[in-house]
Amino acid sequence: MSKETGYPHIDKPWMKFYDEEKVKKIVRPNMNITSYIRNENKGRENFTARTYYGKKTTYGQMFEKQDEASRVFSELGVKKEDRIMYLVPNIPESGDLWLGAAQIGAVSDFADPRPDSMDLKANAKKVLELIKEEKANYIVAIDQAYLGILKPIEHEIKELGIDKIVTVSAKDSMNLSGTIDYLKDVVCYNAIRNDKLKDTDIKKLKWYQAVLNKVQSMQKMQELYDAAVKTSPLEVLLYRDLVKDCKNSSFKEINQKELTQYIGHTSGTSGSKPKPIPVTNEQAISAVEQIKAGDIFFPPGTTVLHVLPFFAPFGAYNNFLSDCATGCNHIEVPEFEITEFAYLIKKYRPNAILATPAWLSKLPDCKYLKGVDLSCITKIIYGGDSMTPEDEERLNQWLKENGAKVSVEKGHGMSEFCGVGSYAQKDYNKLGSIGIPMPGTIYTIVDPEVEKAMVPLQFKEGKKTLAGELVVSSEAVTTGIVDDKIIVPHYGLDGLDCIRTRDLVEMDRDGIFYHIDRKDRAFTRYDGYKVIPAKIEAAIEENDKVKYAGVVPYFSEHHNGYMPKCHIVLHDNDVSEEEKIEIINEIVFQQIVGNPEMSSRQIPTKFGFRTEMPLSKNSKLDFRALEQEELTGDEINVDIHETNLTVDSIQVYKNEKGKVKKK
């Protein structure tokens, strides 16, 4: 047995938790991900692959749908390495189009379909910049995204050489009973949003008006869509019609492991503007194979709630592709709010749930799930942010009391390596930990103070833990290069190809890791979206009335997770409460919503005014002191009503003597 060196990347102490034979079987075949999924499901063609509002699709039928997509794209002229930009939610067509494109060597570039605000021009401008920067050749969009985001920039899109837009609808894969099921959800969502779902009997709800409103809304949108298509300078094509037109067409399959088949986007890990993350067939297959070798996968037939989006690699690979590889049944959910998560669990009774900590930590307090038997749950996982040990214990106790014989599992990951990089289960599922590296992944720790070189840290004799910046090496790590532009820098360390994460972590002697903080003060919102304080501060300080801005996280009871709060010092502090509200309106709608480099999900939801900032001993702004300050009730509030699909409204107000001022 070789002597330990004290360096994690050499000793790999975590490997003792893995089955050596399974790790040896990790394969990297020279094929596209679509072929890989089919090979893994031989003999399971009659297994249910997905459920969408009650309509079930088998794996055999899903493979046929993917072939339909390959035929459609081929007829449209899509060639090897062409880029197709998608603005789509979690509907059946999303996965079919992705795997159909991969089959012919094309790249699926998934962008966030959610508009940032009610400012249509600002939303459209941001998407136009994305189309330009990522050099999309084709566009596929859900009908709402076409109307709200693409319609205002159609002439600019045409100037880029794109003359066709393919549209899909959330109702395309619904049958009659599915449509009824969808309208039933509308009733329940409406009751939940208005705090009227007090009991578990939905038959008692006054559903007529909610259904009528939704039907009228759908009819209105169809009228707007039809009118928009007639006046469009582009050829707007319905995907369902293209499928019929191309049923006798053919396509050429391309199997090359080094081809990029997917571009996802970070949630702002190094800036307010999400950056593209390219993934090859080989990297994607490596990510799935590591999940299998680590015994993290779900058995065939497992029903999995699919709520994490395709544009985030965590959703694409950990909540879709890896489960497809093991014969799972995905329950597709295109739109919901955090308050409706419990309703989805009760309705579908899934075996496996992947979610954010904020979604899960609300469940023990949910009256709607009180007394509900949860023995159906065989795996429950959180990612995207951390959960306190106290909340984790509380959730585990609640699961046990409701019949689930599992404890919550979790991991650490980044878009840069297909989502998950470490995982906590079994004997290495310690409270507050992020687990151990995946079996084909190496985590090590370097000196965070040295930026231009990789200086690995070493366990010294008698030392029980090691702390510093996390660096990662894995065959699932992105090349980080798009159009010869380096998006994710790579570094060498003792023959390993690594990336720096900017995460500060601690590791024990067993190789179990714990997340401490972010070097760039970044933190995660309740929904998994990364907030970058420095970028927000710079944008806010562009307002000529603002002298200093300091952004820190605060715990939002409403969202059951963290949201950004901004402390502001003005050049002129002699302003009235009404003037403060107007200043915040300017900041929100001019400096952030109207800024193509910013996202409305970076808007602070609390603004506090002060005459000076606290300083540290070395005369720098003391962000820790700001973070520790409690809310006073004098803050100006910004309410952002958003679902996983859209931002409906933004309101700026201050409660004062029962009065509310809104914009």
pLDDT tens digits for range 256-265 = 999 999 999 8
Give CA angle at 195 (193, 198), nearest 5°: 130
Residue 63, pLDDT > 80, answer yes
Query: What was the pLDDT predicted at 545?
Result: 94
d(CA 8, CA 544): 49
Indicate if the pLDDT at residue 233 is higher than 60: yes
User: Does residue 386 register a pLDDT over 50?
Assistant: yes
Task: Between 483 and 596, name the one with better pLDDT.
Answer: 483
Q: What is the pLDDT of residues 392-424, one digit of tens each?
A: 999 999 999 999 999 999 989 899 999 899 999
Cross-strand bridge partners of residue 435: 513
pLDDT digits (tens, 9 = 90+) for 543-566: 999 988 999 999 998 887 889 999
User: Quick one: which of 363, 442, 427 has its CA closest to 398?
Assistant: 363
**Position 663 confidence tier, pLDDT thresholds 50, 70, 90:** very low
Using the predicted structure, report yes or no on whether residue 658 has a pLDDT greater than 60. no
Cα–Cα dist 242/457, whole Å: 57
Please give the average per-residue pLDDT across 102-126, as a whole number.
84
Lowest mean pLDDT among 243-257, 379-393, 410-424, 649-663: 649-663
Q: Note the pLDDT of residue 271.
A: 43
Q: What is the pLDDT of residues 165-210, one digit of tens each?
A: 999 999 999 988 888 888 888 777 777 766 665 544 555 556 556 6
In the prediction, which pLDDT does 657 show?
A: 35
**How does DSSP assign 352-391, residue by residue?**
EEEE-HHHHHTGGG-GGGTT---TT-SEEEE-SS---HHH
Confidence check: pLDDT of 270 > 50: no
Sorting pLDDT into bands at 50, 70 and 90, what band is 661? very low
Q: Distance between CA 303 and CA 51 in Å, rounded?
A: 9
pLDDT at site 131:
95
Domain boundaries, the chain: 532-653
User: What is the per-residue pLDDT for 457?
Assistant: 95
What is the chain's mean pLDDT, rounded? 89
Kindly provide the residue ranges of all beta strands, DSSP E only, lying in 68-160, ordered along the sequence. 83-87, 107-110, 138-142
Closest C-alpha to 35, from 79, 100, 83, 84? 100
Q: What is the mean pLDDT of residues 606-615?
A: 90
Reported confidence tier of residue 616, pLDDT bands at 50, 70, 90: low
Alpha carbons 589 and 122: distance in angstroms, whole number: 10
Residue 267 pLDDT? 61
Q: Of 446, 371, 362, 434, whose CA–CA distance to 401 is shortest?
A: 371
Percent of the chain with pLDDT over 90: 63
Res. 216 pLDDT band, cuts 50 70 90 = confident
- In the chain, the percentage of residues whose pLDDT exceeds 70 is 92
Per-residue DSSP letters for 569-583?
Answer: EES-----HHHHHHH
pLDDT at 272 over 70: no
Rounded mean pLDDT, 227-237? 96
pLDDT band of residue 656 (cuts 50, 70, 90) is very low
* Residue of 482, 82, 89, 488 whose CA lies nearest to 270: 488
Give the pLDDT score at 116.
Answer: 62
Domain formed by 532-653, architecture: 2-Layer Sandwich (3.30)
The answer on pLDDT for 236 being more than 90 is yes
What is residue 198's predicted lDDT score, i.e. its pLDDT? Answer: 56
Q: What tens digit of pLDDT does each residue of 493-517 get?
A: 999 999 999 899 999 999 999 988 7
* Reported confidence tier of residue 2, pLDDT bands at 50, 70, 90: low
Strands (E), 519-578: 523-524, 530-531, 546-556, 561-570
pLDDT in the model for residue 427: 92
Q: pLDDT band at 1, cuts 50/70/90? A: very low
* The two three-digit tokens of residue 279, written as one number: 């993934």
pLDDT of residue 142: 95
Q: Which residues have C-beta within 8 Å of that of residue 413, sequence separation ≥ 6?
A: 314, 318, 383, 419, 420, 421, 422
Residue 534 confidence (pLDDT): 83
Give residue 519's pLDDT band: very low, low, confident or very high (50, 70, 90). confident
- Where is average pLDDT lowest: 442-451, 516-525, 574-583? 516-525
Averaged pLDDT, 117-136: 85
Indicate whether 617 pLDDT > 70: no
φ/ψ bin of 174: left (φ > 0), alpha (ψ from -120 to 50), beta (otherwise): beta
